[in-house]
């Protein structure tokens, strides 16, 4: 906490020095969404380069003055929370001054900018994210406040903990972890008792693009158990991108890559080549939109795809067919095909890449 307070004090000192010299105060932040500020290493994923390009948030420029004010407001809130050892959600911060912030997205971006600027992980800023993820399976742990959590597969899942760093006493006999893209598929596998049917496992879903906590949790489980992690995604560019976020991270959060990525993650399904192999009828596949084509073209240029020749091949199959498929397409073969045929065969015979 003293590190956070010192870092904020340094920023405010610089603002006061500028004012004393009758200069307009300026905040300097990294260009987090710029691919030129990111390097790729197979062992970590996408990392921000040490000397990245920056932009200035000026207090005397009409275009950036409001962002300058918003950043100071949030810095002051963080400072008070760290001092008093209290916490707030990103939603709380937005509602503290909706007129100043304008939208939740503005708040989310500023919090990430501040975390990057101070070089302090977001969870140390006493700001809690809204948790979307669910976990189920052979896992138990104790939360920071002493609450014991048992995720043993039933019909309901457990919400991913809001303070991943604080959990302890993690126990599991799981043989593997399965990250499921969509909540509907996750629930279907829960209903089919998938976690216990084949061998004990842990299942996680971020319900689409994973939030920070879900990614931190996947990394924590990997550090704790070192068991294989597989992903089950739609056979479309969006699903592939979500899988890449878990495996290699995202450009905008590349400054936190070491805590968020698990480069050993494997792509279990749904593979574009599976659609041909299983004779999935073209009638149940979905034609690409222009957006899909653009997303796929962008993915094919990403630095990590060059390290994954098998992935490259699958993306080429997708590009050639211009068709995509949701995991639910397997129900066209039989209602329990996913949990009783597709996944057991893949896991038993090594059908991942």
Question: What is the per-residue pLDDT across 109-120, written as a single tens digit (0 to 9) for each?
Answer: 999 999 988 988
Q: Are 94 and 118 in contact (CB under 8 A)?
A: no
Q: Identify any residues that bridge with 177 across adjacent strands, giving them in sequence order.
A: 202, 229
Could you read off the pLDDT of 80-101 as tens digits, one per residue? 999 998 888 888 999 988 988 9
Average pLDDT over residues 298-311: 89
Together in a domain, 178 and 303: yes
State yes or no: pLDDT of 289 exceeds 80: yes
Widest CA span in the chain: 74
Together in a domain, 63 and 191: no
Cβ atoms within 10 Å of 316's Cβ, excluding its own: 13
Together in a domain, 204 and 115: no
Half-sphere exposure (Cβ direction) of 260: Cα atoms closer than 13 Å: 26
147 within a domain of the structure (yes/no): yes
Which of 99, 128, 157 lies at the terminal end of a domain, its last residue?
128
Which of 128, 151, 181 lies at the terminal end of a domain, its last residue?
128
265 within a domain of the structure (yes/no): yes
Tell me the pLDDT band of 154, cut-offs 50, 70 and 90. low
184 within a domain of the structure (yes/no): yes
180 vs 29 pLDDT, higher one: 180
Averaged pLDDT score across all residues of the chain: 89
Output phi, psi for 306, to 5 deg: -60, -25
Total domains, the chain? 2
What gap in Å lies between CA 52 and CA 34, rounded to an integer? 9
Which pLDDT belongs to residue 153?
A: 59
What gap in Å lies between CA 221 and CA 201, rounded to an integer? 12
Together in a domain, 181 and 329: yes
Which pLDDT belongs to residue 348?
A: 87
Tell me the pLDDT band of 64, cut-offs 50, 70 and 90. confident
Give the burial string for 287-315 (b: 16+ CB within 10 Å, else e): ebeeebeebbeebbebebbeebeebeebb
pTM of the model: 0.86
Per the residue annotation, which of 87, 95, 248, 304 is the catalytic one? 95
Together in a domain, 6 and 69: yes
Which pLDDT belongs to residue 313?
A: 93
What percent of the chain has pLDDT above 70?
99
Give the burial string for 235-244 (b: 16+ CB within 10 Å, else e): bbbbbbbbbb
How, if at all, do strands 26-30 and 54-58 pair?
Answer: antiparallel
Q: Identify any residues that bridge with 39 across adjacent strands, giving them in sequence order.
A: 47
Which pLDDT belongs to residue 276?
A: 87
Among the ranges given (51-55, 173-177, 297-301), the one the predictor scored with the smallest mean pLDDT: 51-55
State yes or no: pLDDT of 353 exceeds 80: yes
Together in a domain, 119 and 138: no
Give CA separation, 301 vs 53, 62, 292, in Å.
21, 36, 14
**Looking at residue 153, which CATH number applies to its domain?**
3.40.1360.10
130 vs 23 pLDDT, higher one: 23
Closest CA to 114 of 210, 273, 25, 4: 4
Average pLDDT over residues 276-284: 85
Our answer to whether residue 95 is catalytic in this structure is yes
Together in a domain, 15 and 157: no
**Looking at residue 106, which CATH number applies to its domain?**
1.10.10.10
**Token duo for residue 323:** 């068709």
The residues, any chain, with a CB within 8 Å of residue 307's CB and separated by 6 or more, are 40, 42
Q: Are 186 and 157 in contact (CB under 8 A)?
A: yes
Cβ atoms within 10 Å of 155's Cβ, excluding its own: 9
261 within a domain of the structure (yes/no): yes
Domain that holds residue 158: 134-349
Which of 97, 113, 128 lies at the terminal end of a domain, its last residue?
128
Hunting for tokens 């990250």 — which residue is that?
179
Average pLDDT over residues 133-138: 92
Tell me the pLDDT band of 107, cut-offs 50, 70 and 90. very high
Together in a domain, 101 and 144: no
276 within a domain of the structure (yes/no): yes
N-terminal to C-terminal alpha carbon distance within the chain: 42
């Amino acid at each position: 906490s003293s590190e956070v307070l010192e870092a904020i004090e340094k920023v405010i000192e610089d603002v006061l020095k500028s004012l004393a010299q009758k200069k307009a105060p300026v905040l300097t932040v990294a260009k987090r969404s710029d691919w030129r500020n990111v390097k790729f290493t197979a062992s970590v994923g996408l990392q921000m380069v040490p000397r990245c390009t920056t932009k200035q948030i000026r207090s005397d420029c009409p275009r950036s003055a409001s962002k300058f004010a918003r950043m100071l407001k949030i810095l002051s809130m963080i400072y008070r929370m760290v001092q008093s050892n209290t916490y707030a959600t990103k939603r709380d911060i937005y509602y503290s001054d909706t007129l100043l912030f304008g939208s939740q997205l503005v708040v989310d971006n500023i919090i990430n900018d501040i975390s990057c600027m101070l070089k302090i992980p977001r969870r140390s800023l006493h700001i809690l994210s809204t948790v979307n993820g669910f976990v189920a399976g052979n896992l138990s742990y104790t939360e920071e406040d002493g609450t014991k959590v048992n995720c043993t597969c039933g019909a309901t899942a457990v919400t991913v903990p809001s303070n991943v760093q604080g959990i302890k006493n993690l126990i599991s006999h799981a043989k593997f972890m399965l990250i499921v893209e969509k909540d509907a598929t996750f629930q279907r596998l829960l209903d089919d008792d998938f976690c216990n049917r084949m061998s004990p496992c842990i299942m996680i879903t971020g319900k689409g693009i994973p939030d920070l906590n879900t990614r931190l949790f996947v990394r924590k489980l990997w550090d704790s158990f070192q068991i294989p992690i597989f992903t089950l995604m739609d056979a479309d560019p969006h699903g592939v991108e979500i899988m890449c976020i878990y495996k290699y991270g995202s450009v905008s959060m590349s400054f936190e890559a070491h805590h968020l990525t698990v480069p050993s993650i494997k792509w279990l399904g749904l593979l574009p080549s599976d659609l041909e192999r299983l004779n999935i009828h073209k009638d149940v596949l979905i034609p690409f939109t222009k957006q899909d084509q653009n997303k796929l073209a962008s993915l094919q240029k990403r630095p990590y795809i060059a390290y994954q020749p098998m992935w490259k091949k699958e993306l080429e199959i997708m590009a050639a067919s211009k068709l995509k498929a949701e995991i639910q397409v397997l129900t066209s073969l039989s209602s329990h095909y996913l949990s009783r045929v597709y996944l057991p065969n893949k896991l038993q015979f090594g059908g991942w890449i």
